[in-house]
Amino acid sequence: MNKKGRTAESGRLICLWIGTFICTMVTGVYVYIFYTSYKEQIPEWNALAKETFVEALNLEVQKRGDIVVPFVAVDYPEVKTLETPFKSPVTLTSRYGTHSYEIPRVKFDNSLIKDTEKRMLLSYILEKHPLDADALNLFWNSLLVEKSVAANTGIRLSTTDLLKKTSTVYSSDSIKVLQGDSLLSRYIGFRCEVEATGFIAYDWWQVLKVWPPIMILLLLWLCFFLLLLYYKQISSFLRQKLVKKETVVCIQEKKIIVERKMHLEEEPGQTGLYELADGTILDSEKGILMNGEKTKKLRPQVVALLKLFLRTENYRLPAEEIDKGLWQGKGKPNQLYGVIHHLRESLKGISSLVVEYRDEYYCLKMPHSIEKNTEKG
């Protein structure tokens, strides 16, 4: 690998380390802010989830409001107060005989409906028309969407029959959600025999809806990867712009007047800047040709050959002079042909000057077609 290649690779590695450090630091800060914001949002989402769960359960129960109940026996017809008193155990006579049922206080306190008559009605209705876990879960999800809460939900329905045997059903597609802690439980029926439990897990990206700068983070990483991918092209473009800017500034600061003719100044304090006949500028110190937006890097021997041409009258050089100037008279013919070839290739695309061989002299001059047009003008 040459020196230029090693320099480019070294610059690429420096860019990689610095870019990785900056992007990682920004990402770390963002993740911390994101995590904090996510944790702060969970209590608010839980409150909305509990509210919508109870609302969904009430609406699901109300769907059975038009079902006719032929007979209801109430043991406590005299109870007509604003606050329904808690009584446990309760005695119930059914086809299985008369049994006493304990109702834990926590179940009664979390029952969906506390009115005794309504609880008895619900016991009869839900025995004939039980709740559907999937329908309840779908209803709950739709209410959460209306509240702009994105989450995965699950429902567990546990029913204890008159023989005190418990059966449990789950909503479909909720296995992962049901592995976590429950959000809320509500009890339905005279014996609080139906337990409806809601489970919820929030999507982490939900917080992004209230914190759009995630796009800034993605854009930062995208720019970093594009910089690595097109490092050579970008560095080459920037070098060309900087070289051109430095050249213009140098000319303006030192007030160098470059002759329109191809002429090499012999005065002290030269900057190595020369303007050729077609307006192309040669920077002999940096070894580049510039013409407008175009720049071309020259080989050291090509720069030396150009300066030899500029030192001669009419810009004509015999082969012996080129050999003496470049190789101290010890050059070989193939070396001469090679440097002339490289000069011609270097002038292509950036300068209208050409190198011709005539009468045993190499000449640096304008093409014939341009010379004729200039004479006519």
Q: Is residue 220 situated within a structural domain?
A: no
Q: Is the pTM of this model over 0.85?
A: no
Closest CA to 271 of 306, 247, 237, 301: 247
Query: Cβ(167)–Cβ(161) under 8 Å?
Result: yes
Q: Which of the four pLDDT bands, split at 50, 70 and 90, describes residue 268?
A: very low
Instruction: Determine the structural domain holding residue 265 and report its residue range.
Output: 257-376
Domain for residue 226, yes or no?
no
- Dihedrals phi, psi of 226, to nearest 5 degrees: -65, -35
Instruction: Report yes or no on 216 lying in a domain.
Output: no
Q: Tell me the chain's radius of gyration from C-alpha atoms.
A: 45
Same-domain pairing of 202 and 292? no
Residue with tokens 């546990």: 158
Q: Is the residue at 51 inside a domain?
A: yes
Where residue 344 sits, what CATH number does that domain have?
A: 1.10.10.10
Task: Summarize pLDDT for 175-213 with one digit per residue, the tens.
Answer: 667 666 788 999 998 889 999 999 998 866 655 555 556
pLDDT one-digit tens code per residue, 223-236: 877 777 776 777 67
Amino acid identity, position 7: T
161 and 264 together in one domain:
no
Q: What is the pLDDT of residues 203-215, one digit of tens each?
A: 666 555 555 566 7
Asked whether residue 38 is assigned to any structural domain, the reply reads yes
**What percent of the chain has a predicted confidence (pLDDT) above 70?**
72
* Last residue within a domain, chosen from 149, 181, 209: 209
